[in-house]
Chain A
Amino acid sequence: MVLQVSVMTPDGIFWDNKAEEVILPTNTGQMGVLANHAPLITALDVGVTLIRTDKKWTPLAVMGGFALVKQNQITILVNGAESADTLQSEKVEASFEEAKNQLENAESEKQRVDALFQFKRARARYQVIKQLVN
């Protein structure tokens, strides 16, 4: 395991561990990072970061930010992060459905933007929960 992955949130270090592969939710789609990747900066969307340790994938919901890759050190700076341990599946599912409804029923443009943002967050959490089950 050669990659050192640290996920930083304003409230502290969320994750700091070795890994073999990381998949980042960038603004332009998902991007995998393996060992000896070229130095890179990318913006992160609200979505799921997947971290592979041995054969186990750990999903983390991240709420937008930046990722820096340099010398096998991946620093992920985000507004917020959540893992399956910090989420409750019933709540997540309920809020995902609610966010979906809100997005569908949004009338004004402002409402739609707000709802979309809510939906993205809820979806990221939902995906984390679902991946855990699979």
Chain B
Amino acid sequence: MLRRAGHSLGSRLCQRQGQLEPAVQGLKPSFAVAEEAVEGARDASTLLVKQRMKSVANIGKITKAMKMVAASKMRSAQVNTMNSRGIAEPLLKLLGDLPDAQGKKNVYVPITSDKGLCGGINTTVCKYTRASIKAEDGEDKEHSIVVLGEKGRSQLQRDLRASIHSTVADTGKVRVTFAQAAAIADGINTTEFDVARLIFNRFHSAISYKPTIATSLEKEAEAGGLLDQYEIEGPDRAELLQNLSEFNLASTLYNALMENNCSEQASRMAAMESSTKNAEEMLGKLTLTYNRTRQATITTELIEIISGATALAG
């Protein structure tokens, strides 16, 4: 289903927790330069190869350290994510997920990271944002984007600059509190949307995170009559529903921020692990080249000496 969604973007793509292809993509280190050196190193001085070996070894050390940092951050992020689900899930159950919700004014909230080197999670979010906008766009419809995270901003402003309403960055550095999430939600509310779509990576496990679109409506009351079975306490039904949908947006956003942060750390861990592996491989290749070149030099020198000696003796 995921794969299909990748090509033709039906509204089904908007299903929450849709089974989308895992976004784990190993980070491809740009070691192409080193590769060239290996090829041509036979005649080059061994010094060049040695330098290259040193830098590759250093890169390997750095990526390994980054992996371990990401792993420890992920552990605490995972706890926060699980805790934040407690408040988001009852609301989801109550109000339902409405992937097909239609509205005149759509607001999209792609949630991305501030830092890179974390595999393909930001690209996936941006891809789904674009696709979702394309799928929902119509004649009499408006859309705007509230971007969360530096990476999403830099990717989306290339082609969707005109639609970006505002950007919020630095949500990942220190753990976002619920009050901060509510403040961001207030910012989203100023777009006066009918339908808000939060696009983020939902954390499943350390190796699996699913691009997810969570929908939130401005007036949850219109949400397919799910609320009709409940009595509403208090004199002002409309106000309560308004408050409820604001609370829902804030909780969903808070949860989405936690989920995405956790996915980011998990993805970075995977990316850095594969980088470390690549660096090790590269180092192995370079060591081989270095040793071969050294041996070749020794052999050549020996031959020269021996043939010189033989010539003298003869």
Contacts and interface: CB of A to CB of B under 8 A. Distances in A.
A40 B178 contact: no
Contacts of A1: none
A10 B254 contact: yes
B240 A43 contact: yes
A6 B82 CA distance: 16
A26 B235 CA distance: 12
A40 B86 CA distance: 20
Contacts of A101: none
A107 interface: no
A113 interface: no
A65 B86 CA distance: 14
A42 B82 CA distance: 26
A74 to B, nearest CB: 11
A87 interface: no
How many chain A residues sit at the interface, stated as a range, is: 20 to 34
A42 B234 contact: yes
How many chain B residues sit at the interface, stated as a range, is: 20 to 34
A109 interface: no
B84 interface: yes
Contacts of A6: 90
Contact of B86 (A8, A66, A70, A80): A8
A28 B247 contact: no
B234 A26 contact: yes
Given A11-B83, A41-B227, A68-B94, A28 B251 contact: no
14 contacts: A8-B90, A12-B84, A26-B233, A28-B235, A31-B233, A38-B231, A39-B230, A40-B233, A41-B230, A68-B230, A77-B247, A77-B251, A79-B179, A80-B178
